[in-house]
Every structure is written in structure tokens, then in C-alpha cells.
């Protein structure tokens, strides 16, 4: 039974993403607060959707197992990058 079915609110996590246009014209979305997640798409929306889906899957795995989430210290966006903050509900 899910937490929502038990009357508990769904946990919410902040996904910090840095987005930039690559040399090949594709958009790159790099998750800045959880290591190893990067996605590419033709549009920013497409790249963000893929990055958020991967973030949600990773965080969900840790959360369900009761393991600590290995957050990393977020660095500032690099040249040509834009920071996006996305609330992710499990």
C-alpha cells in the first residue's frame, strides 16, 4: 500500500538541474545535486523530462530501501548553463 493510500503525504525532493545547449545543438540537462544523472534532448523540456525521470527513479530506489540519499554539494551553473529547480514528488 502506498504512503498516500495510508494518508501520509508523498515525499517531495528538490531536483537541481543545470541546462545548456551542446555544440551539436542538443540540450543537455545535468542534475547538480545527485551524481551521475545527465540527459539530452532536442528541446529543454525533453532533456528536463528525461533528467527528472532518472532523478525520480534513483531517489525512489533509495527511499524505498530506507537508504540515505547520496546528495552532492551543488556547484554553481557553468558558462552558458541555466539553473532549474524542480520539485519531484515520489
Domain ranges of the chain: 12-89
The pTM of this model reads 0.89
Q: Does domain 12-89 have CATH number 3.30.160.250?
A: yes
Give residues with Cβ within 8 angstroms of 19, minimum separation 6. 27, 28, 29, 30, 44, 47, 48, 81, 82, 84
* Model pLDDT for residues 49-75, shown as the tens digit of each residue: 999 999 999 999 999 999 999 999 999
At CB < 8 A and 24+ separation, what contacts does 64-67 make?
none
Is the pLDDT at 79 greater than 50? The verdict is: yes
Angle at 57 between CA 46 and CA 80, to 5 degrees: 40
Give the pLDDT band of residue 4 (cuts 50, 70, 90). Answer: low
Identify the pLDDT of residue 1.
47
Identify the pLDDT of residue 23.
97
Residue 63 backbone dihedrals phi, psi, to 5 degrees: -65, -45
Is the pLDDT at 22 greater than 50? The verdict is: yes
Amino acid at each position: 500500500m502506498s504512503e498516500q493510500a495510508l494518508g501520509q503525504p508523498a515525499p517531495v525532493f528538490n531536483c537541481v538541474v543545470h541546462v545548456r545547449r551542446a555544440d551539436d545543438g542538443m540540450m543537455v540537462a545535468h542534475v547538480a545535486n545527485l551524481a551521475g544523472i545527465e540527459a539530452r534532448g532536442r528541446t529543454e523540456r525533453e532533456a528536463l523530462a528525461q533528467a527528472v525521470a532518472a532523478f525520480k527513479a534513483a531517489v525512489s530506489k533509495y527511499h524505498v530501501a530506507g537508504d540515505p540519499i547520496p546528495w552532492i554539494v551543488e556547484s554553481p551553473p557553468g558558462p552558458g548553463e541555466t539553473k532549474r529547480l524542480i520539485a519531484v514528488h515520489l
